[in-house]
Every structure is written in structure tokens, then in C-alpha cells.
Amino acid sequence: MKWLSEFKKFAMRGNVVDMAVGIIIGAAFGKIVSSLVSDVIMPPIGVLLGGVDFSNLAVTIKQASGDTPAVVIGYGKFIQTIIDFIIIAFSIFALVKFMNALKSKAETAAEAPKPAEPTKEEQLLTEIRDLLKEKK
């Protein structure tokens, strides 16, 4: 029972739950970006490069023989994966930069120092100064 309660305490900590939510959202975001790259960005790039479909680019090392499939290096899929990564990394960078800017603005607004009211000592010195100015 103690082990189960320790696990429950661990699993319900805020940072563990936040991390789980982040991983789930990140996986979904990755699928969206992969679709963006493969379905929206890569077709026009392929047309510009003369109808090249990156996912089909490969170098055949050994031809297929009988039931044995061909041995190929699929560098086109690798190129597409690199482009996916770059777009995902840039998107996350832009999102983090935007969130930091919002956080910075909120902290700046919250931390804007109000002018400190003069202490009694300063008020007394100001009154003395004003009285001395009047005498002259």
C-alpha cells in the first residue's frame, strides 16, 4: 500500500502531469507539421525541382530477387524528415519566443515600481528647505 501511495503522489505532482500534457500535445503538433510538410510544402518544391517526389528518392544497393525485397537507402524520406524537424523546431522556437514576450510584458507591468512616498524625515527636510527659501 505504501508503494501505491508513493506512486500516486509522484504521478499527481504538477510537473509530471504538465509533462504528460506537453508530450501529448507535442505528438499531435508533430503530426500536424508532418502533414504540413508532406502535403503542402513538399509538392510545390518537387514541382520546382522537375517533379521530384522526395519520399521516393532512394539508392538501390541490391536489386530484388525472388521473394527477397530490394535493399535501398531511402534518402528522400530522410530529407523530408530533416525538413519536418526544421519546421517543428522553428515553430516551437517562435511559440516559446512569443510566450516569453507575453510573460516579459506581464512581469514588466506587474513590476513597474511605483514612486516611493517620501519618508517623514524627507518630508520634514522638504518643509525646512521651503521655509528657508521663503526667508531669503
Cell 508503494 belongs to residue? 3
Name the grid cell of 102.
507575453
Digitized pLDDT (tens) for each residue of the chain, 136 residues in all:
788 888 777 777 767 777 888 888 888 888 887 788 778 887 887 788 777 667 778 899 999 888 888 899 988 888 878 877 887 788 778 888 988 888 887 777 666 667 788 888 988 999 999 988 888 7
Cβ-contact 91, 33 below 8 angstroms: yes
Name the grid cell of 1.
500500500
